Amino acid sequence: MTAQNASNASNARNASSSLDWTLPYASHRSAVMGRNVVSTSQPLAAQAGLAMLQAGGNAVDAAIAAAMVLTVVEPTGCGLGSDGFAIVWDGKELHGLNASGRSPAAWTPEYFEKLGGAIPEMGWNAVTVPGAVSAWVALSQRLGKLPFAQLAQPAIDYARNGFPVSPTIARLWALGAQKLGAQPGFAECFMPDGRTPQAGEIFRSEAHARTLELITATEGEAFYRGELAEKMAAHSQANGGAMTVEDLAAHRADWVGTVSQRFGDSVIHEIPPNGQGIAALMALGMLDRIDGGRGVGAHPLDSVETVHASIEAMKLALADLYQHNADGDHLQVHPAELLHADYLAERAALIDPERASDPVYGTPRRGGTVYLAAADSQGMMVSFIQSNYMGFGSGVVVPGTGISLQNRGHGFTLQAGHANCVAPGKRPSHTIIPAFAMHADGTPQMAFGVMGGPMQSQGHTQMALRVLRYGQNPQAAADAPRWRVTGGKGVAVEPHFDGALVEALRARGHEVTVEAGNGVFAFGGAQLVLRQGGHYIAGSDPRKDGHAVAF
């Protein structure tokens, strides 16, 4: 580092450390409207997507550019070693893409029994083949307009020349380092001065920039079948992992379509299993069948009747999810069975309008993530999500590449006979899910998602309820206090949740915990883009650093 650069870095540190980054006063955001919009969890990523639209690209180009930037500016939620999923309305047809990775060929229950009888959260033995890069390539090749290399330029510039770390991400960065700082490659990449960057400090990663250049020059081939794949496999072998070049070369992203559920005048679409989106569809399907078949909506949105019913439907859906969700090639109970009208009616009948339950899964008769949304003036809409899983994921970073790797392997179980039991070349049950709503007449309505592990299907249910059933605008839906079921009769709520409502839920038997702190840690971050006539209305979650932009 030159003397001038050192001085600049010191000045940046001094300037950022002198500011108080807390937000002690109530504030609000307005919904953003325009004919072209991008909504993400970090402002620089949103602006990168908007730049592609202004350059003549479409919503897919915008989504890819934003996703690439997020691997640089929000490493606490995603990276070059993440997984990804997308739902895209191309103006005529809805497409679903599953770019989650599969397990190494060596992974068996016996493999993990020798390691102590559990699948770890950290290290190489938590890493499945990363799929996000393949998502970018597949989307660009099939639906994009601009050259792939052009889409990567904003991310390359931020990685090489630096960007100011935003406040929420700085907090998550410090927390992640406390847990993962000893993992191979982590400190070298994310703690270059022996510590994590503070809010407002400039962070650079030349290695990340070079890797992005190699990915774009080869349209992903170097990542799965070339130089980068060889580096990943070598690092795995050197650190007790099972990943090989053959595992990486075997990866593919799959166009899988969607699964859907009617909800009032809308049809909600999710990616089929291995994603958890089917739980949101089940909960919404149950809510349409309560109150004597009239469906949710008779009581006010934030009334105890509506919230209680929503929690109970979600608990029933999650009980089924944890028992039945798995790689689509290994399912024992299929989506059509879980979404069958008779089964949803049967499950909805279990909802007691006055008392909380502790539900178990049913048996149908045979028969720390980033999310973004983009839409353009030609009618294309994109719902896209990519994630490390738990914050920085496994904590593993391949030296000299900037490739930080997810820990999706921890999503498997070792329970013999379970549909989600670990096996070679298998996708684990996955938390990250994009969502899309269509009008019943087949026209597009809303791209939306909520980041945050098991919160995601719960967040989808709450967003659909607020916007599609009760007519809240997207920003209000993102702002609203959230609940999260935690197991049994447990429910967690945010500190600004209505106190009287908390007591009313407790009176019905819910074991409610008010969770202090920043909601992004446990209640996720939402982005929503609603189509209305010839323009869009977008909201972005205040729990994150991001925003929606439009023109």
The fraction of the chain above a pLDDT of 70, given in percent, is 95
Catalytic residue among 40, 168, 369, 461: 369
- Which of the four pLDDT bands, split at 50, 70 and 90, describes residue 26? confident
Q: Is 50 exceeded by the pLDDT of residue 529?
A: yes
pLDDT for position 362:
77
As given in the structure block, the two tokens for residue 411 are: 């999503």
What does the pLDDT look like over 236-269, one tens digit per residue?
Answer: 999 999 999 999 999 999 999 999 999 999 999 9
Q: What's the chain's Rg over C-alpha atoms?
A: 22
The pLDDT of residue 351 is above 80:
yes
CB atoms within 10 A of CB 179: 16
> How confident is residue 105, by pLDDT bands cut at 50, 70 and 90?
very high
C-alpha distance from residue 58 to each of 98, 146, 336, 437 (Å): 21, 8, 33, 20
Identify which of 511, 424, 477 has the alpha carbon closest to the alpha carbon of residue 250: 424
Question: Three-state SS for 529?
Answer: strand
- Residues 86-111 as b or e (16 or more Cβ within 10 Å = b): bbbbbeeebbbbbbbbbbbeebbbeb
pLDDT digits (tens, 9 = 90+) for 288-305: 999 988 999 999 999 999
Q: What crossing angle do the helices spanning 59-73 and 206-218 adopt, rounded to 10°?
A: 150
- pLDDT grade, residue 116 (50/70/90)? very high
Q: Would the pTM of this model clear 0.85, i.e. be above it?
A: yes
Burial of 417 (0-12, 13-18, 19+ CB in 10 A): exposed
Q: Please give the mean pLDDT across all residues of the chain.
A: 94
Q: How many CA atoms lie within 13 A of 46 on its CB side?
A: 26
Domains of the chain: 259-370+431-550 (3.60.20.40)
2 vs 51: which has the higher pLDDT: 51
Tokens 């940046």 sit at which residue?
Answer: 12
pLDDT tens-digit series, residues 8-21: 344 444 445 578 98
Q: What is the pLDDT of residue 518?
A: 58
- Please confirm, yes or no, whether 369 is among the known catalytic residues: yes
